[in-house]
Amino acid sequence: MNIIGRVTSDAQVRNVSNSKQVVNFSVAINDSYRNKAGEQVELTTYFDCAYWISSKVAKILTKGSLVELTGRVSARAWTGSNGEARAGLNFNTSQIKLHGGGKKSETAQATTSTSNDKPENDLPF
């Protein structure tokens, strides 16, 4: 299954055993449709994602990054600390494609654009 969405917070790397690490992050997918009354309805679905292949991707999975993920989805249910029934969606990620940067790449773009500013009358010849 493929999903495209935005990373909701910076990815976290957890050590599972001496040799295993997992990258955990959450992705939000926005969707909209018109109901029977013709009103626009916005719907956001959240996936708790796990990536087991390499922990190096954690540094590019920053808040706001647009990502396309390939993997398997599963549902989970549990009882919260207040006794209330809860449910969520997990996404076991096997492939990640970055389509747009989050806060770190925006900072890098802003730095690049300010350093490349030249006066208009400065001709190269």
As a whole-number percent, the residues of the chain with pLDDT over 90 amount to 74
Domain annotation for the chain: domains and CATH numbers: 2-100 (2.40.50.140)
Q: What is the DSSP string of 61-96?
A: --TT-EEEEEEEEEEEEEE-TTS-EEEEEEEEEEEE
Instruction: Please choose, from the candidates 48, 13, 10, the residue with its C-alpha nearest in 3D space to the C-alpha of residue 28.
Output: 48
pLDDT mean over 89-114: 69
| 73-83 average pLDDT score | 93
For 80, phi then psi, to 5°, come to -70, 170
Higher pLDDT, 84 or 104: 84
**Predicted TM-score (pTM) of this structure:** 0.74
pLDDT, position 107: 42
Query: Distance between CA atoms of 12 and 48, rounded to whole angstroms?
Result: 12
5-58 pLDDT per residue, tens: 999 999 999 998 888 999 999 999 999 999 999 999 999 999 999 999 999 999
